[in-house]
Structure 1
Amino acid sequence: MDGNLSLHVANFSTLFVCMVLKFPQIFVLLRARAAAGVSLNSLLLELLGFIVFMSYQMYYEYPPLTYLEYPILIAQDVIVLLLILHYNRNLKHSLIYAALFVGGWQLLTVKKWVIDLAMSLCTLISGSSKLAQLQCLWRSKDSGQVSSLTWALATYTCMARIFTTIITTGDTQVLVRFIVMTILNMWVTATVIYYKPQAVKQD
């Protein structure tokens, strides 16, 4: 009973957090009207990782509560992407990205080996997205437009998913992904805080 309660708490808290996870980042971008410090490559890789992971979970008919947050995260990432493109004056590229992501999404589930291969690369893809953001921060040494709260919330959701994965599916690939993502999200969070301008200590 306690195990089921803990699982429900982890699932629903993750879902709730993910419903607002990108809001701090969106608000920071809107307030600053600039996207300095926010890595476009990181966001694109993150979107790709989310799409692959959700497609894998759906393909193998995993419990919906183990991946229900991903459509929400994808929608929020799309908003962040549009804001970055807008502030970088590259909004016309949004149609190209949309075509690539939608086309790739359709191809993922054409064959079993395709989705399995994509999932085997998912940790690398998602990990690369965090490293791209870290590289952007190291290069600019300024995290003024990067929300530390968003990254902290992402760390929590990955930690919660480690627990839910162990309890529900025990899928090793999924478990490894969440462990790696937890570590990298913590690293990005710490880096964002480190490079946060002294005059702006809150999002």
Structure 2
Amino acid sequence: MAPGLLDLAHWSTWAVCAVIKLPQLAAVLAAGSARGISVGSLLLELAGFLVFLRYQIYYGYPLQTYLEYPIIIAQDVVLLLFILHFSGNMKRALFYAVTFGGAWYMLTLQKWIIDLAMQGSLQL
């Protein structure tokens, strides 16, 4: 019974993560506006997910323990692109991509950097 229940929990988590942002994405797309969505909070959420994902990869945790995060990150990136598009700030997309890409690389330059980043993201 326990392995079946564990499988159910695993797959239901994946299913929820796969669609967690879809209602928000659909609402923004249907309205043709990102009014009411905070770019700052979305960037903070995205940064936290990226730090967590990088930490898990750096320390070699099993893929099954964090595989839902790339799915959520992809949805956040699409939502960010919609927000930038509808607000007329698509030029900022390159800035955000370079910033997050550079941070992704710099997090693992030294072990203490990734540990400090993870500790900071947990305190938020």
Cα displacement (A) at 1:57: 1.1
Cα offset, 1:62, TM superposition: 1.5
Whole-angstrom distance in 2 between the partners of 1:30 and 1:120: 35
Q: Which residue of 1 aligns with 2:83?
A: 84
Q: How does 1:170-189 map to 2 (within 5 A)?
A: none
Q: TM-score, normalised by structure 2?
A: 0.93
Provide the aligned length of Structure 1 versus Structure 2. Answer: 124
Partner residue of 1:8? 7
Counterpart position of 1:93 = 92
Q: Unaligned regions of 5+ residues in structure 1, if any?
A: 128-203
Q: Distance in 2 between matches of 1:123 and 1:6?
A: 29
Q: Distance in 2 between matches of 1:115 and 1:55?
A: 8
Identity %: 53
SS of corresponding position for 2:85: helix
- The aligned residue for residue 110 of structure 1 is 109
In 2, distance between residues paired with 1:88 and 1:32? 12
Structure 1: which 4+ aligned runs deviate by more than 6 Å? none
Aligned counterpart, 1:27: 26
Alpha-carbon distance in 2 for matches of 1:77, 1:46: 8
User: Could you say what secondary structure the match of 2:29 adopts?
Assistant: helix
Alignment-derived partner of residue 42 in structure 1:
41
What amino acid does structure 2 have at the position aligned with 1:23? Answer: L
Q: In 1, Cα distance between the equivalents of 2:75 and 2:5?
A: 27
Q: Residue 37 of structure 2 aligns to a residue in which SS?
A: coil
Superposition CA RMSD, Å: 1.3
- Structure 1 counterpart SS, 2:36: coil
Report the residue type matching 2:4 in the other structure: L
Asked if the contact 1:34–1:84 (Cα under 8 Å) also holds between the matched residues in 2, the reply is: yes
| Equivalent-residue separation in structure 2 for 1:63 and 1:82 (angstroms) | 30
1:58 aligned to 2:57?
yes
Question: By how many angstroms is 1:86 displaced?
Answer: 1.0
Determine the C-alpha separation between the residues in 2 that align with 1:110 and 1:15. Answer: 31
Q: Which runs of 5+ in 2 are unaligned?
A: none
TM-score scaled by structure 1? 0.58
Equivalents in 2 of 1:110, 1:18: separation in Å? 30
Residues 29 and 35, structure 1, Cα contact 8 Å, conserved in 2: yes
Matches of 1:99 and 1:20, distance apart in 2: 27
- Measure the CA separation in 2 of the matches of 1:39 and 1:11: 31
